[in-house]
């Protein structure tokens, strides 16, 4: 995933559970920081959710779907 890609959340794989704060991240978002190694996940992205006017950091890459 690259900066500027439009994404939406998809459910995490069964081995994951939603972390607090991710339940509000719905609709269409835009990648503002490409996939990078993070403290909490192996590879995460920072996503801007314009409808909610919020940014979510360290969203696991496999939780996102490019549209």
Residue pLDDT, tens place only, 25-39: 667 899 998 888 877
Beta strands in the chain (DSSP E): 6-9, 28-36, 44-49, 54-60, 64-66
pLDDT of residue 40: 67
Rounded Cα–Cα distance for residues 19 and 50 (Å): 20
Distance CA 42, CA 51 (A): 27
| Per-residue pLDDT, 24 | 58
pLDDT of residue 20: 52
pTM: 0.74
The answer to whether the Cα torsion of 47, 21, 8, 41 is positive or negative is positive
């Amino acid at each position: 995933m690259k900066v500027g890609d439009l994404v939406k959340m998809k459910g995490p794989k069964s081995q994951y559970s939603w972390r607090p704060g991710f339940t509000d991240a719905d609709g269409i978002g835009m990648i503002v920081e490409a996939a990078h190694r993070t403290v909490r996940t192996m590879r995460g992205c920072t996503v801007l959710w314009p409808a909610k006017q919020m940014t979510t950091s360290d969203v696991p890459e496999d939780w996102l779907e490019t549209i």
